[in-house]
Amino acid sequence: MEALVACIIGALTFTGVYLLLRQRSFPVILGLTFLSYAVNLFLFASGRLAVNAAPIIGRSASYADPLPQALVLTAIVISFGMTAVLMILAIAGNLESGHDRVTLDADDAPSRDDGR
Amino acid sequence: MMGHWIIAPVVLPALVAALMVIALRGNLAGQRLASVACVLGLNGIAAALLWSASLHGPEAYFLGDWPAPFGIVLMLDRLSALMVALLAALALPVVLYAAGSGWDRRGDHFHPLLQFLLMGIAGAFLTGDAFNLFVFFEVLLIASYGLMVHGGGGRRSQAGIQYVAFNLVGSSLFLIALALVYGVTGTLNMADLAVKLPTLPEGDTALIRVAAVMLILVFAIKGALVPLQFWLPGTYANAPGVTAAMFAVMTKVGAYATLRFGTLVFPPDLPATTDLLSTLLLPAALVTLAVGAIGVLGASTLPRLAAFGGIASMGTVFIAISAFTPLTTVAALYYMLHSTLATAVLFLVADLVTRRRAHARLTEAAAPVARSGLIASLYLVAAIAMAGMPPLSGFLGKLLVLQAFRAEAALVWTVILLSSFLMILGFARAGSTLFWKSASIEATVQAHPPEPLAFAATFALIAGLGLLTLFAGPVTDWLATLAQTLDQPGGYIQANRLGKGP
């Protein structure tokens, strides 16, 4: 099970980083979402992987660590909110400037105008 | 002893912000009044916290009365009290400037967002729990996104996307580091980590080293350390001037967290990490200072110049932090106090100029701005402070840093002195284009509202710099005691009452 979870985390991180390096805002947002999935799984695994163990003492022979579950819940809520904010920014930027490139335009850096 | 007052810097702005959104929606005068009242209250609380921390030493606040390693604690000690006081002292002029310059009129919810930002930063300074630090980082970031795109504009939204994306990657790194720390030690309470890490089994040291480096990466993103500074110039130069001035304290969150983790959780005498942090931080900080100074010299607009000045000052702060000895910590903190105020002054002056000038470019002169003489003298003071020339506190701060690094004079002194020279050149070049070359252009001066409150706010910040210079002796003495408590964190750890319950 450990190897499987590790492979999934690795694949999610790979996809996330690859998409993050795109130039358009939509793949970047998708990449950040994949990255946060990977992070959430990793955070969950930090409390050790256990099967058939409730996070309550006395219900089963062994018990799962409840703290990482609480941490993951917080992280999910936060990354959900952040993705929403990023979406709104991306839509606003797209509507106002007519394109969805993540790079800043030439007029943001007038010092580089001469070189182009 | 402060008791429940320790959480007041977090709760007060949160309540006032919520009140403003619900009860004062669209009522700008009411929002301004509530905002100023809240920041005044924050100043009072911060002064009381500072007083208590100096008299009684570290004190813990147990949220929900849960005992320390299990629940979340807020920690009041000299360092956190100082940072909260700095935050409150900066917030007051910023709020006044926002009202005086009319920035808060350009969009809804400027004041609530500012209060949420204050809540997040105060929480990040006060918390004694690593995961809680992450949560407060997110609170301050989400408020800063709103402030950054305040007033709108396509370019601002584009720069905002870069800023948000960069910081979300930073948050992911932070969570991975926290998961590693928790997986190895089973705790995220910072005092508990300080107790448990020295007795770590040999096999786990590699994981802890990875976690330590990742945490430093996250704090370096926040503190705009090279090579992770790319987000700062675009963000700060495109953000509203008043927001950029408030952001001057946001980079200091990264510096504060580095100092806290480098002295408490990963001290230089910890077998697992030893001098790992110093060896990573010092070269990065030196390059940061150099990049900032070159950026000041080559900046194309005044806000970009201010942003690079901010990067250079973070370089100096991180140089001083990187040694993690009491002597260098005093220098780092004194320079941090100075550079927060100085960067804010520079951003406010840049805003005063750019709103009155025909265009923002520094490469060509424009018609003289209204009230050119007064603004030019304000710019002169800000430039003197940022470049670290006498008679202002920047000079004393740099002197303290140089003195603390007498052993490594060849490298550190060269970089600091050369970059100061470059910055003086950059500021002089920008100032002559802005105020002298414009005098030769025959054009009528564009009328502009006088904005007395905005000027008063800028003067208040400069008065803060003056006080910091005048009382440099008592301040550094007080900081020396602070540095001692950071070096010997026994009191901080005891205040957590680990394993005994509150």
| pLDDT classification of B154: cutoffs 50, 70, 90 | low
| A111 closest CB neighbour out of B171, B178, B298 | B298
For the cut 70, the answer to whether the pLDDT of residue A107 exceeds it is: no
The answer to which of B149-153, B185-189, B309-313 has the lowest mean pLDDT is B149-153
Residue that the structure tokens 């020295």 belong to: B198
B430 half-sphere exposure, CB direction, 13 A CA radius: 31
For the cut 80, the answer to whether the pLDDT of residue B447 exceeds it is: no
Residue that the structure tokens 């005498």 belong to: B269
List beta partners, residue B60.
B75
For the cut 90, the answer to whether the pLDDT of residue B456 exceeds it is: yes
- Say if B293 is an interface residue toward chain A (CB within 8 Å): no
A38 interaction partners in chain B (CB closer than 8 Å): 172
Residue that the structure tokens 């001692």 belong to: B484
A78 interaction partners in chain B (CB closer than 8 Å): 135, 138, 171
Classify burial at B280, counting beta carbons within 10 Å of its beta carbon; exposed 0-12, middle 13-18, buried 19 or more: middle
For the cut 50, the answer to whether the pLDDT of residue A109 exceeds it is: no
For the cut 80, the answer to whether the pLDDT of residue B169 exceeds it is: yes
Res B145: pLDDT: 86
B179 interaction partners in chain A (CB closer than 8 Å): 39, 42-43, 45-46, 68, 71
Distance CA B314, CA B316 (A): 5
Distance CA B274, CA A99 (A): 49
Res B469: pLDDT: 94
Q: Please tell me the pTM assigned to this model.
A: 0.93
Res B500: pLDDT: 61
| A71 closest CB neighbour out of B131, B159, B298 | B131
Closest C-alpha to A60, from A49, A48, A51, A69: A51
A67 interaction partners in chain B (CB closer than 8 Å): 182
B432-458: string of b/e by CB count within 10 Å (b at 16+)? ebbbeebeeeeeeeeeeeebeebbebb
Cα-Cα end-to-end distance for chain B? 15
> Do the chains contact at A93 and B154, CB–CB below 8 Å?
yes
| B161 closest CB neighbour out of A36, A71, A90 | A90
Cα angle value B496/B497/B502 (rounded, 5°): 100
DSSP string, B136-173: HHHHHHHHHHHHHTTT--HHHHHHHHHHHHHHHHHHHH
Res B146: pLDDT: 87
Mean pLDDT value across residues B373-386:
93
The answer to which of B30-34, B68-72, B73-77, B252-256 has the lowest mean pLDDT is B68-72
Q: Which two tokens stand for residue B473?
A: 């002796």
> Do the chains contact at A71 and B176, CB–CB below 8 Å?
no
Q: What is the mean pLDDT of chain B?
A: 91
Percent of chain B residues topping a pLDDT of 70: 99
| pLDDT classification of B212: cutoffs 50, 70, 90 | very high
| A108 closest CB neighbour out of B135, B155, B169 | B155
Res B59: pLDDT: 92
Distance CA B221, CA B213 (A): 12
Q: Which two tokens stand for residue B152?
A: 């709108």
Contact B489, B263 (CB under 8 A): yes
Classify burial at B364, counting beta carbons within 10 Å of its beta carbon; exposed 0-12, middle 13-18, buried 19 or more: exposed
pLDDT tens for B468-478 read 999 999 999 99
For the cut 70, the answer to whether the pLDDT of residue B138 exceeds it is: yes
Residue that the structure tokens 């499987």 belong to: A4
pLDDT tens for A77-88 read 999 988 898 888
> Do the chains contact at A32 and B154, CB–CB below 8 Å?
no
Query: Where does residue B311 fall: left (phi above 0), alpha (psi -120 to 50 degrees), or beta otherwise?
Result: alpha
> Do the chains contact at A93 and B161, CB–CB below 8 Å?
yes
> Do the chains contact at A68 and B182, CB–CB below 8 Å?
yes
Q: Which residue of A has its CA nearest to B178?
A: A43
CA distance B237 to chain A (A): 9
Contact B229, B221 (CB under 8 A): no
Closest C-alpha to B229, from A92, B237, B412, B398: B237
Distance CA B244, CA B242 (A): 5
Contact B137, B171 (CB under 8 A): yes
Contact B393, B469 (CB under 8 A): yes
pLDDT tens for A13-69 read 999 999 999 888 889 999 999 999 999 999 999 888 888 888 888 877 788 888 899
DSSP string, B470-498: HTHHHHHHHHHHHHHHHHSTHHHHHHT-T
Distance CA A82, CA A87 (A): 9
Q: How many helices (H) and strands (E) does chain A have?
A: 3, 0
Signed CA dihedral, A40, A42, A46, A51: sign only: positive
| pLDDT classification of A108: cutoffs 50, 70, 90 | very low
> Do the chains contact at B168 and A43, CB–CB below 8 Å?
no
Query: Where does residue B274 fall: left (phi above 0), alpha (psi -120 to 50 degrees), or beta otherwise?
Result: left
Res A104: pLDDT: 61
